[in-house]
């Protein structure tokens, strides 16, 4: 089968299209014929090996898994003997915990897969998982989102932000989205009550107060945001490091405000259930910026590195 392979950490130049052996599912896995795979921040960290914390999962000196791609959607071709929930022919989407998604086939654990909604394309299905789960963890688990709160989402036009905005609205929050000039209409269209163009206005200087600030792109620090956070407000960021985690604990212990960097953890069962409920009711509609072919994965990463995507980048296979 064809796959995008890399042997060392670095820029998109380390990625090569090669023929490799098709995988065989273990007892608890399914073999998926991939139709679409999402480009996520996790894939970029695994490609570059940065920050160094990423190498704990990806490999200390060189990649343990030679094919990137953690979020996939496609059709089940074979199942392991212990798999009961799915059968060959099912259209599914899910997560490959050992990567492998930028290829024609991949094996993923059955517990990391969901049936694809009939009215959702493969491209939409692969785009919704990482963004939806991340947004729910940050808003509903770490942020303890409540109806009536004033919520600010920095990076509202990105892959996570374009789902965090409607999720916050569905919980009854008043949402302010921060994005660039070209994305103002997009962020309004997904439900933001107010939109701030960061090229024209610094939201940390406007005098507003927010109960919850979610920095979905990890670009603004707690120190930047503290002045516009309510006295008992919570600041959540997708940026993470051990130093940030320690700082967050200190801030939360010594004051009424909280600063929480999102740790690399598995979603709790209640978050997975909430994701499924929102998916079933049609409240999770991902935005897809661009689609690239399998051979264009390096090009897709170069576009991702510019940092101006609207929603998620998808690889079609």
- Structural domain including 15 reads 2-116+287-316
Do 161 and 53 lie in one domain? The reply is no
- Residue 79: closest CA among 41, 43, 31, 34: 31
Q: Pick from 243, 261, 279: which residue ends a domain?
A: 261
Do 111 and 166 belong to one domain?
no
How many domains are there within the chain? 2
10 with 41, same domain: the answer is yes
The predicted structure's pLDDT at residue 51: 86
User: Is residue 276 assigned to a domain?
Assistant: no
Outline where DSSP puts E strands in the chain: 2-5, 16-19, 29-39, 71-79, 91-95, 105-109, 113-115, 150-154, 174-179, 194-197, 210-215, 229-237, 258-261, 288-293, 312-316
Per-residue pLDDT of the chain (317 residues; tens, 9 = 90+): 999 999 999 999 999 999 999 999 999 999 999 999 999 999 999 999 998 888 888 889 999 999 999 999 999 999 999 999 999 999 999 999 889 999 999 999 999 999 999 999 999 999 999 999 999 999 999 999 999 999 999 999 999 999 999 999 999 999 999 999 999 999 999 999 999 999 999 999 988 999 999 999 999 999 999 999 999 999 999 998 888 889 999 998 999 999 999 988 889 999 999 999 999 998 899 999 999 999 999 999 999 999 889 999 999 99
266 part of a folded domain: no
Q: Residue 108: left (phi > 0), alpha (psi -120 to 50), or beta?
A: beta
Domain assignment present for residue 271? The answer is no
Are both 135 and 165 inside the same structural domain?
A: yes
Among residues 218, 243, 261, the one where a domain terminates is 261
Yes or no: say if 295 and 316 are a contact pair by the CB < 8 Å rule: no
Q: Which of 229, 236, 224, 237 is nearest to 255 (CA)?
A: 229
In a domain, 179, yes or no: yes
Residue 302 belongs to a domain: yes
CATH code of the domain containing 140: 3.40.50.720
Please state, in angstroms and as integers, the Cα–Cα distance from residue 58 to each residue in 52, 65, 66, 126, 141, following that order. 10, 7, 10, 21, 26
Same domain, 170 and 240: yes
**Do 225 and 175 reside in the same domain of the chain?**
yes
- The strand pairing partners of 166, in sequence order, are none
CB count within 10 Å of CB 194 equals 15
Contacts of 50 (CB under 8 A, 6+ apart): 9
The pLDDT assigned to 37 comes to 98
> The tokens 């604990």 sit on which residue?
249
Q: Are residues 218 and 149 in the same domain?
A: yes
Do 210 and 135 share a structural domain?
yes
Are 112 and 140 found together in one domain? Answer: no
* pLDDT score, position 98: 86
- Both 88 and 45 in one domain: the answer is yes
pLDDT score for 56: 84
CATH number of the domain at 303, please: 3.90.180.10
């Amino acid at each position: 089968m064809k796959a995008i392979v890399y042997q060392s950490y670095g820029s998109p130049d380390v990625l090569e299209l090669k023929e490799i052996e098709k995988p065989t599912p273990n007892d608890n896995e399914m073999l998926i014929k991939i139709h679409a795979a999402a480009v996520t921040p996790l894939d970029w960290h695994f490609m570059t090996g940065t920050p160094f914390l990423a190498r704990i999962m990806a490999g200390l000196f060189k990649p343990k898994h030679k094919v990137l791609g953690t979020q996939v959607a496609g059709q089940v071709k074979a199942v392991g003997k212990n798999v009961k929930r799915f059968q060959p022919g099912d259209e599914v989407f899910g997560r490959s915990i050992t990567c492998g998604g930028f290829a024609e086939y991949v094996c993923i654990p059955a517990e990391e897969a969901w049936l694809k909604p009939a009215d959702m394309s493969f491209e939409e299905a692969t785009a919704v998982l990482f963004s939806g789960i991340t947004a729910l963890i940050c808003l509903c688990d770490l942020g303890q989102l409540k109806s009536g709160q004033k919520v600010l989402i920095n990076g509202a036009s990105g892959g996570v932000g374009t789902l965090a905005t409607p999720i916050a609205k569905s919980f009854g929050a008043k949402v302010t989205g921060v994005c660039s000039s070209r994305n103002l209409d997009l962020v309004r269209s997904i439900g933001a009550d107010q939109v701030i163009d960061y090229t024209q206005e610094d939201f940390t200087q406007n005098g507003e107060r927010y109960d919850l600030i979610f920095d979905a792109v990890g670009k603004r620090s707690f120190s930047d945001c503290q002045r516009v956070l309510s006295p008992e407000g919570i600041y959540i960021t997708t940026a993470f490091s051990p130093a940030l985690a320690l700082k967050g604990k200190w801030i939360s212990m010594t004051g009424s405000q909280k600063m929480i960097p999102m740790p690399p953890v598995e979603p709790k069962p209640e978050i997975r259930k909430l994701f499924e409920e929102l998916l079933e009711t049609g409240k999770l509609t991902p935005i897809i910026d661009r689609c690239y072919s399998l051979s264009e994965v390096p090009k897709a990463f170069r576009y991702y590195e510019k940092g101006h995507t609207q929603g998620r980048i998808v690889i079609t296979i």
